Structure 1
Amino acid sequence: MDTPGVAEAAALLRDFHFVDPTWDGTAFLPFWGRELDVSIDPDEDGITSRQLKVLKAVLAHADDLRPAFEKALFAYYQADVDGSYCSYDEQARPIPGSGPPKLTESAQVWGLIDDPVVCIPLYFRTKSAIEFSLSFNCEWDREHGLGVLYRNWRPVEFGGWDL
């Protein structure tokens, strides 16, 4: 592997391989309490030193991010997802119960998402923060999924996979 950064990333991740356009592997991530897929979006020259720095930080971070994530996702869901759409019948009347499920407590968000992937971008939004995103399949938007941008271990933006 002569591409810059690839050998170093391969030493940190299991099953590391190129799936156009990203480098993908797996690792146990203490902050999520389980093994997750990790995807790195390289530039034309390979994996950058900043991406390797973020990868190492992600692999080493031991504080559990799930409680704060749950609360932040629940707040996002209540503000932006709940009641945001529904299906319509042939006469263009709303079909009751066809929109996103109603949630009454934050723990219910876990039943609406699955398959988390850590994504390390090519372009960062700050000069030095630890930035990455978590992407999920989600029940309320199967086409676009859920993306959560993290900056210095805090969720700062929610949206589709392609934040």
Structure 2
Amino acid sequence: MSQDGNRLGADLSLHVVMFHEAIARRLGVSNSEHKMLDLVARHPDGITPGELAAATGLSNAAVTKIIDKLVDADYVRRERNPSDRRSFRIHTTPHFRQTSRPTAAGLAQRIEEMNESFDEDELAAIARWVTGVIEALRAETERLETGGEPGARGGDGHTEALGG
């Protein structure tokens, strides 16, 4: 990737993190709690605490602590499984949806307006790049979490395209 591409990747990474931290502050939660809310919101039928632990790499105890805080803030609710009263699913609340919707609405509108200036081939190229970055992030996160060696793609594990 060219130096300009590396710089753009680093800038994108920085501003994505800053945007999500600003949303978290607006909601009165930590960035980790905000990302947990994001995961819950992506599952309209709810998600189990075990699934949240698996998706985040957090311990069951840490997930429970975050869920407790988010329940207290009226951002999520626990709903018992009617067929297995020992288990439950986590759902976002109407309060969360009402509170969070305005935080991302401006960004969604800006992106939609920007996308109108691209043709289908350009949008396809952008989608390939973003998908590739997401896959690189997943792979490198897993590598870092498991203590594995850098990937076999010739890198040294240093994610220059993302400014790391």
Q: TM-score with structure 2 length normalisation?
A: 0.24
Higher helix share: 2
TM-score, with structure 1 as normaliser: 0.24
Structure of higher RCO (CA pairs closer than 8 Å, 6+ residues apart)? 2
Structure whose alpha-carbon radius of gyration is higher: 2
